[in-house]
Structure 1
Amino acid sequence: MKTSDTTRPRPGAAILLTALRRNKGAMIAGTVLMSLYQAAETAFPIALGLIVEHTMRDRGLGSLGVSIGSLAVIITTVSLSWRFGMRVLQKANTTEAHRWRVRVAACGLQPVARDVDLKSGEILTVATEDADQTADIIEVVPLLISSLVAVVVASVALALADLRLGLLVIVGTVAILSVLAVMSKRIGASTREQQAKVARAGAKVADLIIGLRPLHGFGGNHAAFEAYREVSTDAKRQAITVARVNGAYAGTALALNAVLAAAVSLTAGLLAFEGRITIGELVMAVGLAQFIMEPLRLFAEMPKYVMMARASAERMALVLAARPVMTAGAGHPEPGGSLEVEGVRHGTLQGVTFSVAAGEFVAIAAYQPRAAADLASVLAVNAAPHTYGGVVRVGGREIADLSIEAVREHLLVNPYDGEIFAGTLRTNIDPAGTGRTITEAVEASMLTDVVALHREGLDHVVRDRGANLSGGQRQRLSLARALAADSEMLVLHDPTTAVDAVTEQLIARNVAKLRRGRTTLVMTSSPALLDAADRVLVLDGGVVTAEDTHRNLLAGDDAYCRAVAR
């Protein structure tokens, strides 16, 4: 029998339960210590009442010494239990937040993308703010229980003095929590909306930073800034709404707590006036009425933090519970095999068929740049096999039957807009720190002048997105990274568009030499790279229309000559 949507556990709740189960030991220890803290805090006004009561009967120094000693024990217990209790809980909170950040980041970095309607900037917010707020549940539950302990201890102590005082605290607490439970739902809904809008603003600014250079190029930066301002303003308005709701919640909680404290104090005063309780019990009741406001405040605030943690957990579930866009196989390609593309139809591709033999250097001259991008997407498995027609085989096996990790270990596709990371030249060329061909890759990509230009050499610092490098330097750094990987099959997409003709000629010669005996496919319009290839495929109108050496095509194909001659 199928489980209905109404009874199936929600992913956000499952995430919170996982966090609670995983930190059960720390939460038990923290709950015991924080309950001890609250009990000791509650014991302080009770002790004062007892001291007053006994002092009035026995005015000796011995009673005074016992009283001072009792207060010292209570104060020490309060101090140490709070210190160690919060240390345990905050350590568990921080560790749990780290675990969820890593989980979300791992999902974003998986070779198979997940079907989630979030931009990278939004996923960044989920991996930081939402992970932290979800982990707060580890502190919320012990604080909630310890606050309840304080209320129970206070109620029992007051009930022993007079049953009506104890009942007043219990009834008042239930009434306050009932009112605040209704208000906390509004906080949860408003917080979810705020988190979504802040995440969208983060995604917008991430897109803006990525496209800043081209935006400046055609004067579109002002329009982009205005678009971001609009999204950010929307997030600001929602933040103000959440602040108003939180303010109303906090104000209502404080007012209701004050009303309860006043009611307890006035009732105790009336009972003392009527002689139903002693002076010592009156001191205790007034002290507890003042003290109980703090645990009641914590007790009242906890539902709000629970709703915030639940909202953040639901957003994390969008990433963690999202299904992969494709189901990869588990096979591995045969080493030293060929690359075969048969009848592929995807985007602008209208049935592309070609093969690259093992160890061959082949170039593709795409007359329409979009076609090269679509082909690169298919070969990089950015497009799932079920989303396009035709077949791609790597090492004699269809990509659909291979694991993504195996495909990418065997076949590396270096995009034309390869990302540059903050770090050094060395960490950009060899991120894993395992490369053995860094020197050869640097020389082949003509990055030697950049390395020689700086005293630190390969350890020269690179800023985020390569902000301190020119366009040509960034492109050569990306090419060096692809060559240093020394993969069995390498696909390069427009690797030299930002370098001068002389450098391009040297790179073409070096790449052909370095990749000799390795399968290489270059999609380019560079005459130097086309000439270095064993053969050239012409991609026009989404199909391969011609195939020959670069020089033969130049001599016999006018369209090719016009497309690639510079």
Structure 2
Amino acid sequence: MTTPDTGPRTGSEILRTTLRRNARAMTGGTVLMGMYQAGETAFPIALGLIVEHTMRDRSPGALGLAIVALAVITATVSFSWRFGMRILQKAGTTEAHRWRVAVAGRGLRPVAVDTDLKAGEVLTVATEDADQTADIIEVVPLLISSLVAVLIAAVTLAMADVRLGLLVIVGTVAILSTLSVLSRRIGAATREQQARVARAGAKVADLIVGLRPLRGFGGNHAAFRSYRKVSEEAERQAIGVAGANGAYAGTALALNAVLATAVTLLAGRLAFQEQISVGELVMAVGLAQFIMEPLKLFSEMPKYVMTARASADRMALVLAAPPVMAPGSERPAAGDGLEADGVRYGALRGLSFQVAAGEFVAIAAYRPGAAADLASVLAVNVPPGAYEGVVRVGGQKAADLSVEAIREHMLVNPSDGEIFAGTLRTNIDPSGTGRAVAEAVEASMLTDVVALHRAGLDHGVRDRGANLSGGQRQRLCLARALAADTDVLVLHDPTTAVDAVTEQLIARNVAELRRGRTTIVLTGSPALLDAADRVLVLDDGVITMEGTHRELLDADEGYRLAVAR
């Protein structure tokens, strides 16, 4: 059976998986909802029979029997609806949760999947689309139970007069044929609307992340205009879909009303001609009014099916997407260092260097883009097939290693690390298994932040570290990287937001804490460069010089101008 873990290939497979997995709940829900619709149908039938028998037998016993019959019907309607919807909604909620977890799991895997969706779009898929796909669990039972109600009404009317039953059947077929055309158009429009809304969500997520730097160079207004354009496109599409839905609902209501009116008029004509009795007339009029509800429900179902199908198709974009790389299965050898041999990617032009096990090396990149490209390559954010040359981790080619093993062995801490809502402790040690949290807090000079609050490490942190300063956020990210205590640690500009005195202390602390462990720092900080065993100068995409910080200061004017503060 296809499951979210095996990655269904199409939206149809996702819907089939959903239906198979919830067959038992849907069967129970269908039976109970069928009982509900049958009970609803029984009301006008019972009223017609009561009128028919009352005209012949006006005894208190007949009245009491009628009251009991109506009470039984009422109880059946009430309890079958309550328990039927409870079963279906529980199954739907559970299924939506499964798909949310499946989509989120794909997004969180070490190897990214090859889609054109941004993070904000994946979020929409994992929330709204998962919920709308799971709606199919309610839609199918309601569709079947509505059909049961219409069939019961048609058969009952046909027993009074065949023409009444045929009118209901022919009218229902005509209504559904008309609405099926409209539902297909709504499905196509809904797919486009969901895509546009997801793109708008991704755009605003990008804006929130980059708002500070955008304000720094005055690009916020242009970014806002770009978002407004995307948002207005989503708005226009949403208005169009709302209009189509309104036309669909209005058409369905009008056609249902026409059918009910036709049944009522035909029944009245037959009663006037004494071809049906008064009780049958009461029953026919009651059924004509009643069938508007199941017909309305029945006619709305194709729209929900198309919406669920559109959402399932979007989920398939994530779940069926191939990985951007096919990682190996080997593990790096513990204790070995890191090597780059002829790496060409972005601003890197044949970069080669070697860091021995236990060595603390700083790389001074004259161009920030080169440092960012190197960090991306080392973090396996760039598949080995997307760059030339070889990166060796623990003495083995990165392409031969599993991504999980690489990241267990080597941590690349980005310059713009995310801060999550929670506490200082959960941001430093998300898994709760770290053994070096206290040492990491001290080495990153985060001790003043911890001491400032009564809760200490359990002090609350808002989403993206909104209640922390830039320097505090950066030190918190550094503490998290140090607490991981990996064999190889790569730090990318870890101290750009802290003052010079604090930076000096951090450089000394990091060197001491990481003594005997392989550490690489991509930085222009004189303090970190001076703390390193060796400095490699990255200029024009290659290593042009190496030595200690002080040796390079004495030997090269360009280096002195680039890093001296």
Which bracket does the TM-score occupy, shorter chain normalised? Answer: over 0.9
Any residues of structure 2 matched to 1:265-280 within 5 Å, and which?
Answer: 265-280=264-279
> Take 1:77 and 1:30, find their aligned partners in 2: how far apart are those partners?
14
Q: Deviations over 1:422-476 (max 9, x none)?
A: 1111111111111111110000000111111111111111111111111111110
Any residues of structure 2 matched to 1:249-288 within 5 Å, and which?
Answer: 249-288=248-287
Amino acid at match of 2:432: G
Amino acid at match of 2:561: R
> Take 1:131 and 1:114, find their aligned partners in 2: how far apart are those partners?
18
- Other-structure match for 1:406: 405
Identity %, equivalent residues? 78
8 Å Cα contact 2:478/2:494 also seen in 1: yes
Secondary structure at 1:517 match in 2: coil
User: How far off its partner does 1:205 sit?
Assistant: 0.9
User: How far off its partner does 1:10 sit?
Assistant: 6.6
Q: Deviations over 1:518-542 (max 9, x none)?
A: 1111111111111111111111111
User: Runs (4+) of structure 1 moved beyond 4 Å?
Assistant: none
CA RMSD of aligned residues (A): 1.0
> Take 1:340 and 1:82, find their aligned partners in 2: how far apart are those partners?
67
Give the TM-score normalised by structure 2.
Answer: 0.98
User: How far off its partner does 1:159 sit?
Assistant: 0.7
Q: Deviations over 1:87-131 (max 9, x none)?
A: 000001111111111111111111111111011111111111111
Gaps of 5+ in 2: 1-7
Q: Deviations over 1:23-49 (max 9, x none)?
A: 111100000000010011001110111
- Other-structure match for 1:293: 292
- Other-structure match for 1:79: 78
- Other-structure match for 2:182: 183
> Take 1:10 and 1:181, find their aligned partners in 2: how far apart are those partners?
26
- Other-structure match for 1:3: none
Aligned residues: 558
Any residues of structure 2 matched to 1:165-184 within 5 Å, and which?
Answer: 165-184=164-183
Task: Note closer, same or farther for the CA distance 1:219–1:541 as it changes in structure 2 (3 Å cut).
Answer: closer
Q: Which range moves more in the overlay, 453-462 or 305-314?
A: 453-462
- Other-structure match for 1:4: none
Any residues of structure 2 matched to 1:18-417 within 5 Å, and which?
Answer: 18-417=17-416
Secondary structure at 1:342 match in 2: strand
Amino acid at match of 1:559: G
Amino acid at match of 1:252: T
Amino acid at match of 2:477: S
8 Å Cα contact 2:338/2:392 also seen in 1: yes
> Take 1:355 and 1:226, find their aligned partners in 2: how far apart are those partners?
46
Secondary structure at 2:382 match in 1: coil
> Take 2:311 and 2:81, find their aligned partners in 1: how far apart are those partners?
27
Gaps of 5+ in 1: 1-8
> Take 1:477 and 1:232, find their aligned partners in 2: how far apart are those partners?
35
Secondary structure at 1:341 match in 2: strand
8 Å Cα contact 2:9/2:319 also seen in 1: no
Q: Deviations over 1:295-333 (max 9, x none)?
A: 000000000000000111111111111111100111111
> Take 2:548 and 2:34, find their aligned partners in 1: how far apart are those partners?
81
Amino acid at match of 2:363: I
User: How far off its partner does 1:229 sit?
Assistant: 1.9
2:440 matched to 1:438?
no
- Other-structure match for 2:550: 551
Q: Deviations over 1:204-259 (max 9, x none)?
A: 11111111112222333222222222221221111111111111100000000000
Task: Note closer, same or farther for the CA distance 1:10–1:187 as it changes in structure 2 (3 Å cut).
Answer: farther
Amino acid at match of 1:332: R
Secondary structure at 2:106 match in 1: helix
Amino acid at match of 1:479: L
- Other-structure match for 2:499: 500
Give the TM-score normalised by structure 1.
Answer: 0.97
Amino acid at match of 1:436: R
Secondary structure at 1:412 match in 2: strand
8 Å Cα contact 2:9/2:320 also seen in 1: no
> Take 1:165 and 1:192, find their aligned partners in 2: how far apart are those partners?
40
Amino acid at match of 1:215: L
> Take 2:27 and 2:318, find their aligned partners in 1: how far apart are those partners?
30
> Take 1:203 and 1:25, find their aligned partners in 2: how far apart are those partners?
38
